[in-house]
Amino acid sequence: MTHVAQEKWSSGTAFLLAAIGSAVGLGNIYRFPYVVGENGGGAFVLLYLGIVAFFGIPLVMTELTIGRRKQLPPISAFTALSEGKKSQPFWKCMGWINVLTPLGILGFYFVVSGWTLNYVYSMISGQLNNLVEGQTLKVFTDMQQSPLTLIFWMTISLSITAFVISRGVKLGLEKAVKILMPMLFLILVSLVIYSAFNGGMRETFEFMFTPDFSKITGKTVLEAAGQAFFSLSLGSATMLVYGSYLPKKESIPKLACGVAFADTFVALIAGFAIFPIVFTNGLELDSGPNLVFVTLPIIFDQMPFGQLFGILFFLLLAFAAVTSTISLFEPAVSNLEERGILTRGKGSLLVGIGLWCLAAVSALSMNILSDVRLLTFSDTVASKNIMDILEYMSANAMMLINALFAGIFVGWVMKRKDVLEELGLDDSLLFKFWRVIIKVVVPVVISVLILQLFELLDPLMAFIL
C-alpha cells in the first residue's frame, strides 16, 4: 500500500480553532439547552460538568494520542500501533468502525444543519414574522413534511462541507475555521448581551446552577454522558484525525483541556442566551427538540429587533454546524487519501455522494418513509424511524463503543512509555491518575452505559442479585 503523507495544522492555535469548531456544534446550541430543560436544570448541569472533567478531558487526550503517535488516520493508526500483537485484526476493525461512525452521524446531522440554513432564509425573508403560537409549530412540521425542502437545504449544507474538505487541511479546514469561529463567538456574545437586557438572567442562574438531585436517575446519567461525549466529538475518529495533523511539539493535555473548556463554556453560554428569553415570556423549558425551532421564533417575533436577533441566532447555529460537519466528514477522506486509494478531491466527491444518499433517506424518514422500522428489538427502538435509529446507533451506541475501545487501546495495548512521551507529561501523579481513569474507570463506566443503552442493565442486575 502506498501511504501518502498527511498535511499538518500550521500551528497549535489552528488545531485549537478546528477542534473547538468540531466540538461546538448543534450539540451545544440546539441540543444542550433542551436536554437541560427536559432534565430539570441544575443537577443535570452539575453531572454534565463532572463527566466532562473526569471522562471527557481524559478521553480527548486518549484519542489525540492515538492519532498523533504515528500521525496516521484511524485504520492505519490502529493497525500500526498494534503491530506484532495477536489482537491486530481486531484493532484494524476498530479503525474501520471509527471511520464509519461519523458517516452515520452525518446521515442525520446534515439534515438538521439543513434546517438551520432553512431558518436563516425564513428569518431573512420574513416568513416567521407575525406568527402566533401554534403557527411556528406548523412552519416546523411543514418543513419536516416537505421532502424537497429538506433535501434542498441538506444538499447545500453537504456541498459546502465537501467543498471545504476537498481543499485540504490548511487551505480548506483551517481557513474555514479561522473565518467562522471568530464570527460564531461574536454572534454568541452579542446574543447573550441582548438577552441580558431583556431580563430573566436571575431565573436562568437559579435554573442552571441549583441542583435538585432527586431528578437524577440512571437514564439521566446516560443522557448526560451521551451529551458530553457527543459535544466533545468523542468516539468517532474526529479527535483522532485532528490529532494526526497536530505537530509533535504541541502539548496534548493542554490542548485537550482548552477544547473541553471552550466547548463547555459555549454550551453554558447558549443556555444563557436562550433561557432568559424563555423565562421572561413564561414559556415552557421542557419543549424538547422544539425549543429552538418552535418556541424561540414566537418570541423573536415579539422582541425589539427580534428579526435581526433571529437571523443572527440561526446563523450562529448554521456556522456551528458547518465546523462540526467538516470534522465528521474529514476522517473518511483522510483515510482514503492516506492509503493512496483516492485523491482528496475524488474522495470528497465519492464520500459526498454516499452521504447524500444516506442523508436523503434520513430526510425522507420524516415524511414518506416515516412508517419504516429498521429495528424492533425493544420498545424504545421500535418507536424510532430511520433517522432516529441512525442517531441511536451512531451517536449513542457506536460512539460509546469507540470511546470504550480507545480507552482500552491506550491503557492496555499501547506501551506506557510511548503514551507518556506522546502526552509530554512527567511520570507524575497526574499521569498515573489519568492512566487509572483510562485503564479501569472508563472501561467499567462505559460498559455499564452501553448495557443501560440497550436496556440490558436491569435484566443483568436481576440475574446477578
Phi, psi of 8 (to 5 degrees): -125, 155
| CB-nearer residue toward ligand TRP: 59 or 298 | 59
| CB-nearer residue toward ligand TRP: 330 or 425 | 330
Distance CA 327, CA 183 (A): 18
All cell numbers assigned to 65: 494520542
| CB-nearer residue toward ligand TRP: 328 or 366 | 328
Tell me the Cα Rg of the chain: 22
Q: Residue 396: which of 218, 235, 232 has the closest Cα?
A: 235
Q: Residue 28: CB partners within 8 Å, gap ≥ 6?
A: 231, 263, 266, 267, 270, 320
Q: At what angle do helices 74-81 and 88-124 cross, to 10 degrees?
A: 160
| CB-nearer residue toward ligand TRP: 35 or 208 | 35
Q: Angle 184-236-346 (CA atoms, 0-180°, nearest 5)?
A: 80
From residue 228, alpha-carbon distances to 224, 395, 403, 434 in Å are: 6, 11, 12, 18
Q: What is the largest CA-CA distance in the chain?
A: 67
The least CB distance from residue 402 to ligand TRP, in Å, is 9
| CB-nearer residue toward ligand TRP: 237 or 425 | 237
Measured between its terminal Cα atoms, the distance across the chain in Å is: 52
Q: At what angle do helices 42-51 and 201-209 cross, to 10 degrees?
A: 60
The least CB distance from residue 274 to ligand TRP, in Å, is 15
| CB-nearer residue toward ligand TRP: 230 or 314 | 230
- How many CA atoms are closer than 13 Å to the CA of 63, on its beta-carbon side? 31
The least CB distance from residue 457 to ligand TRP, in Å, is 23
Q: Angle 294-300-304 (CA atoms, 0-180°, nearest 5)?
A: 170
| CB-nearer residue toward ligand TRP: 176 or 299 | 176
The least CB distance from residue 80 to ligand TRP, in Å, is 22
For residue 421, count other CB atoms closer than 10 A to its CB. 13
The answer to whether 225 and 50 have CB atoms below 8 angstroms apart is no
| CB-nearer residue toward ligand TRP: 232 or 298 | 232
- The DSSP letter of residue 420 is H
The least CB distance from residue 183 to ligand TRP, in Å, is 17
The least CB distance from residue 110 to ligand TRP, in Å, is 12
Listing DSSP states for 58-81 in one string gives HHHHHHHHHHHHHT--HHHHHHHH
All cell numbers assigned to 155: 444538499
- The DSSP letter of residue 215 is G
| CB-nearer residue toward ligand TRP: 91 or 230 | 230
Applying CB under 6 A, the residues found at the interface with ligand TRP are: 22-23, 25-28, 102, 105, 230-231, 233, 236, 238, 324, 327-328, 399
The least CB distance from residue 307 to ligand TRP, in Å, is 26
The least CB distance from residue 458 to ligand TRP, in Å, is 27
| CB-nearer residue toward ligand TRP: 233 or 362 | 233
